Amino acid sequence: MSVHYSGIGMTSQRTRNRLIERLRAQGIQDEVALAAMNAVPRHIFVDEALASRAYDDVSLPIGHGQTISQPYIVARMIEILRNGMTLNRVLEIGSGCGYQAAVLAQVAKEVYSVERIHPLYQRAADYLSELQIKNVSLRYADGNIGIPEAAPFDGIIMAAAATHIPQPLLEQLAIGGRMVLPLGTQEQFLWLIERTEEGYCKTRLEAVRFVPLLLGKA
Ligand code: SAH
C-alpha cells in the first residue's frame, strides 16, 4: 500500500501543533493524552483527497458508511479513561481505520481493538503496521462480545453508540477499571462506567454524536 506522507509533508507537525492548541482551548487538560494526539499523524488515516482536512476538528468519512472520530472526542475519551493513571491493557470497540487505536497505543501498554467491517479492519492493520505501532492487536469480530481471552481490561473505549452496555464488556472490565462509551440513538451521551469491588458506578457526561454499534460481523 502507499501511504500519503506527501501533500501535507513537512507542515504536518506544525498543523498538528495547532490542533493540540485547539484541543487545549476546548478543555482537554491531560498532557499525556495531548502528547499522544500530537504523536499520531491523523492524515495517514484518511483518504488522500481529505488529507488537507485531517487536522480540522471534525469527523471525516472513511467509507462503508463509517467515520474517523473527531480529534476532540478521541482526546476527551482517552482523558476520561486515563484519569491521570497509567493504562496497562485497553480494549477498543470499533477500530474503524485505526486512528484512536494508534493514539491509545501511545498511552497504554497493550491495546486490543475490534472491528466488524473486514475492509476497515484490513485498512487499520495496514496503517498501524506502516506507522510501526506494535502494541495494538486488531480483531475482526463483533465487539459486543469483547475479547474474553484477553480480559480483564483496565480500560474499555467504545467508538460506536449502543442502546445498552453489552454485558460481556461489563464482565471484561477489571475491578478498578474504567469504561467510556456513547449510549443512545437520536440523543446520545458519553457515559463513564467505573467498576469497584461493590459493582458498577455509572456517570453521564456530555452529549455526543457517534455511528451506531451494530450486531454481528459485516
Ligand atoms: N475508532 C475509530 C472510529 C471508527 S467509527 C477512529 O479512531 O476513528 C466506529 C466503528 O465502529 C466503525 O468502523 C464501525 O464499523 C464499528 N462498529 C460498529 N459496531 C461494531 C461492533 N459490533 N463490533 C465492532 N465494531 C463495530
Taking only the tens place, the pLDDT of each residue in 54-91 is 999 999 999 999 999 999 999 999 999 999 999 999 99
Instruction: Tell me if 66 is assigned to some domain.
Output: yes
For the whole model, what pTM was predicted? 0.95
Nearest CA to ligand 1 atom 19: 213
Q: Is residue 85 part of a domain?
A: yes
Within 10 Å of residue 141's Cβ, how many Cβ atoms? 16
Mean pLDDT of the 146-168 span: 98
Q: Is 99 in the pocket of ligand 1 (CB under 6 A)?
A: yes
- The CATH number given to whatever domain includes residue 165 is 3.40.50.150
In the numeric block, which cell numbers belong to residue 174?
477489571
Q: How far apart are CA 178 and CA 165, in angstroms?
A: 13
**pLDDT at site 114:** 98
Among 66, 77, 123, 142, residue to substitute to test ligand 1 (most atoms within 8 Å of Cβ): 66
Order of strands, sheet of 188-195, starting from the edge strand that comes earlier in the sequence: 136-140, 108-115, 87-93, 153-158, 173-184, 188-195, 200-208
User: What is the domain count for the chain?
Assistant: 1
Atom of ligand 1 nearest to the CA of 69: 8
- Flag whether pLDDT at 1 surpasses 60: no
Q: How far apart are CA 28 and CA 68, in angstroms?
A: 19
Ligand 1 pocket member 159 (CB < 6 A) = yes
DSSP state of 155: E
Q: State the residue range of the domain holding 102.
A: 9-208
- CB 153, CB 177: distance < 8 Å: yes
Asked whether residue 10 carries a pLDDT value surpassing 60, the answer given is no
Residue 72 lies in a domain: yes
CA-based torsion, 45, 78, 185, 112: positive or negative: positive
Mean pLDDT of 116-140: 97
Residue 176 has pLDDT above 50, yes or no: yes
Angle at CA 11, nearest 5°, toward 7 and 15?
Answer: 110
pLDDT of residue 11: 58
Cell of 64: 462503508
Distance 115 CA to ligand 1 centre (A): 6
| Short-list 203, 175, 171, CA closest to 190 | 203
For a mutational test of ligand 1's pocket, the pick from 116, 144, 157, i.e. the residue with the most ligand atoms closer than 8 A to its C-beta, is 116
Q: Please check whether residue 216 lies inside any domain of the structure.
A: no
Confidence band of 122 (pLDDT split at 50, 70, 90): very high
Query: Does 218 contact ligand 1 (Cβ within 6 A)?
Result: no
How far is the centre of ligand 1, averaged over its atoms, from the C-alpha of 216 (Å)?
Answer: 12
Average pLDDT over residues 149-166: 98
* Mean of per-residue pLDDT scores for the chain: 94
Q: Is residue 104 part of a domain?
A: yes
185 grid coordinates? 440513538
C-alpha–C-alpha distance, residues 102 and 45, integer Å: 10
Residues 6+ apart with CB under 8 A from 11: none
Q: What is the pLDDT of residue 7?
A: 46
pLDDT of residue 8: 47
User: 4 lies in a domain?
Assistant: no
How does residue 123 score in pLDDT terms, banded at 50, 70 and 90? very high
Q: Each residue of 181-214: pLDDT tens digit?
A: 999 999 999 999 999 999 999 999 999 999 999 9
- Using pLDDT thresholds of 50, 70 and 90, give the confidence band for residue 24: very high
Distance from Cα 7 to the centre of ligand 1, integer Å: 28
Is 62 within a domain?
A: yes
Nearest to 19 by CA among 58, 49, 45: 58
- Note if 69 is an active site residue: yes
pLDDT at 13: 83
Residue of 214, 215, 217 to test ligand 1 pocket, by largest number of atoms within 8 Å of CB = 214
Q: Per DSSP, what are the bridge partners of residue 114?
A: 93, 139
Residue 218 included in any domain: no
